[in-house]
Amino acid sequence: MKNQELVRIFYDIADILEIKNVEWKPLAYRKAARAIEVLGEDVEEIYKKDGIKGLKEIPGVGERIAEKIEEFIKTNKIKEYEKLKKTIPRHLTELMEIPGLGAKKAKKLYERLHIKSIKELEKAAKQHKISGLETFKEKSEENILKGIELIKKGKGRILLGVALPMARNIIEELKTLKDVKDISVAGSLRRMEETIGDIDILAISSNPKKVMDKFTSLKEVSRILAMGETKSMVILENGMQADIRVLDKKSYGAALQYFTGNKGHNIRLRELAIKKGYKLNEYGLFKKDKYICGRTEGEIYKNLGLDYIEPELRNNTNELELAKNRKLPKLVKLGEIKGDLHVHTKDSDGDNTIEEMCREAINLGYEYICISDHSKTRAIANGMKEEELLKQIREIDRLNKRFKRFRIFKGCEVDILNDGNLDFSDDILKRLDIVGAAVHSGFKMSESKMTERIIKALKDKYVKILYHPTGRLINQREPYQVDLNSLFDVAKEKKKFLEINGMINRLDLDDYNIKKAVEKGVRLVLGTDSHSKEHLRFMEYGVSQARRGWCEKKDIVNALSLKELVRLFNIK
């Protein structure tokens, strides 16, 4: 898949052109890059199917950029880009990564001081060669050094499941102020992206100053980047950036919309507003200078002739068109999930007993849970031997008699061995209610071998679910090579289910593949892969991943009631 390579190239072209003072083209290249970045399809596939014409249907891609994509698909490079790169020093665009430095300043630093890289910039700043250069003074030098520090610390994106609790803590602290009338996360956190760049918070108050003071003096704050009347930005102790915006009640919806983004969605929404004779900003929707609405997001979308668009769908694909034509999916909700189908206990590598996991599940309002500990080959995860699984089965039978209106399913996360065989014999598997299979080893085999291996397991008559179908660990391990399309076909034909794993560093399948699966009519299972009772709450992340993949209630197996689920799995 060449999408992300193209994205990087187009962003780089934009940076170079901007340094060279070319007008508007950077805007065009960035627009195209952003569109490809979130494209639900492989550009190579689009090109194979519909050629240049197909490429031009990507928003922001016209004749010239389509030709460049074609060239890259055919030759793996873009001549004009290679030429362009030679016109400026190789590392010059990296200066623009430093917060506060853009194209204009990077250019000036190069022209006046021949600085061509972050390394050289740091040296110059430390020797105080920058202050005194026209508009650069002491403060600029200081900020450059701080910015470089920040970059060195790593600006890696943080897992949603780590960032969201942090943001909620901050919100709880701000809520203690009487002056805060309303408060919400915004940005990528509200869109529930799998990783988060910075924390965005929106607060409603008639006393912004007080909110700003509290926010910038929170114990988590290590440095204040900016502090104004309605907006502040800080760096937290863990290196994350957090931004807050404070506005008046009558702007809450408009501000929430604006601050949630994403950027492309906002731009297109504002363009639509202009077309309809309005102006849209974070204060509201205006006709001339007259305030039309802005208290809720819903009324803004409505006044622009659109259905309400859920935050998870605001990624500037085709959601505005669908909203206009009343064709948006009705996304599954956390409250519709009736149970968790991937849970570990002390019997393998979990922290809690079966009963403890069940108590927590009941607290969450679930009707059922599936205990799915590891099989024997997973020795490192204390995988269960046959006799241990049989013992667990007996215990579940015993516990099930004690619970009313709650059912524990007997399951297992059984290893798919390298040859596609399973880690337990039929004699064991037939005693289970729900068998899930998973790959935990041999990640490096070829795509065709891996696909064959998994299909063999998926076709086993006892296997119902394929757990974490690609094996990726976010920021740690790439997915193994597998032809998911073939897996989807088998799943559809044999009535098997693929998991959306809600564990915060897995989220596997990802949103892109979830959407593909749903389009093919494959039904999905939500599991948290909990290894302690606290993890059961990760269902929130599984659901948000499903929503970002356009899942409706009907697509999710464990949105079924206990009765319906028993029927579906044909459980006695």
Partner DNA sequence: GCCGTTTTCGGCCCGACTGTTTTCAGTCG
The side-by-side arrangement of strands in the sheet containing 221-227 is 182-186, 198-204, 241-247, 231-236, 221-227
Maximum pairwise Cα distance, the chain: 81
Spatial CA neighbour of 499 closest among 477, 474, 481, 517: 517
Least CB distance to DNA at residue 409 (A): 44
Q: Specify the residue, 23 or 387, whose C-beta has the smaller distance to DNA.
A: 23
- CA dist 348 and 113 (Å) reads 62
Three-state helix/strand/coil letters over 392-424 = HHHHHHHHHHHCCCCEEEEEEEEEECCCCCECC
Looking at the Cβ atoms of 141 and 555, the one nearer to DNA is 141
d(CA 7, CA 68): 12
SS3 238: coil
Least Å from the CB of residue 22 to DNA: 8
If the CB atoms of residues 303 and 421 are measured against DNA, the closer one turns out to be: 303
- The nearest distance, CB 176 to DNA, in angstroms, is 22
Directed axis angle between helix 3-19 and helix 63-75, to 10°? 130
Which amino acid would we find at residue 174? L
d(CA 8, CA 264): 17
Q: Is the peptide bond before 509 cis (omega within 30 degrees of 0)?
A: yes
CB of 544 to DNA, least distance (A): 20
State how far the Cα of 567 lies from the Cα of 572, in Å rounded to an integer: 9
Q: How far is the CB of 547 from DNA (least distance, A)?
A: 22
Q: Minimum distance from CB of 107 to DNA (Å)?
A: 8
Instruction: Kindly state the smallest distance separating residue 229's Cβ from DNA, in Å.
Output: 5
Burial class (CB in 10 A: 0-12, 13-18, 19+), 70: middle
Tell me which DSSP letter residue 473 carries: B
Our CB check for DNA shows the closer of 240 and 454 to be 240
SS3 385: coil
Query: φ, ψ for residue 525 (rounded to 5)?
Result: -115, 135
The minimum distance between CB 126 and DNA, in angstroms, equals 16
**What dihedral do alpha carbons 182, 187, 189, 191 form, nearest 10°?**
100
Instruction: Report in angstroms how near the CB of residue 125 gets to DNA at its nearest.
Output: 12
User: Which H or E element spans position 242?
Assistant: strand 241-247
Among residues 151 and 393, whose Cβ is nearest to DNA? Answer: 151
Residue at 309: amino acid letter: I
Length of the chain: 572
CB of 118 to DNA, least distance (A): 13
Of 60 and 383, the one with the shorter C-beta distance to DNA is 60
Question: Which CB sits closer to DNA, 22 or 473?
Answer: 22
Nearest approach in angstroms of CB 463 to DNA is 45
Least separation in angstroms between CB 61 and DNA: 5
Query: What three-state secondary structure class fits 279?
Result: strand
Contact in structure between 357 and 387 (CB atoms under 8 Å): no
Q: Are 437 and 460 in contact (CB under 8 A)?
A: yes
Shortest Cβ 261–DNA spacing (Å):
7
Q: Residue 340: what are its φ and ψ, rounded to 5°?
A: -115, 130
Q: Which residues bind DNA (CB under 7 A)?
A: 23-25, 27-29, 31-32, 56, 59-66, 96, 98-106, 135-140, 143, 187, 198, 200, 226-233, 241, 243, 263, 266-267, 270-271, 273-275, 279-283
Nearest by Cα to 295 from 260, 256, 252: 252
Contact 415/438 with Cβ under 8 angstroms?
A: yes
| Identity of the residue, 31 or 533, whose beta carbon is nearer to DNA in the bound complex | 31
Q: For 203-238, b where at least 16 C-beta lie within 10 A, e where not — what string?
A: bbbeebeebbebbbeeeebeeebeeeebebbbbbee
Q: Which is nearer to DNA, 122 or 347 (CB)?
A: 122
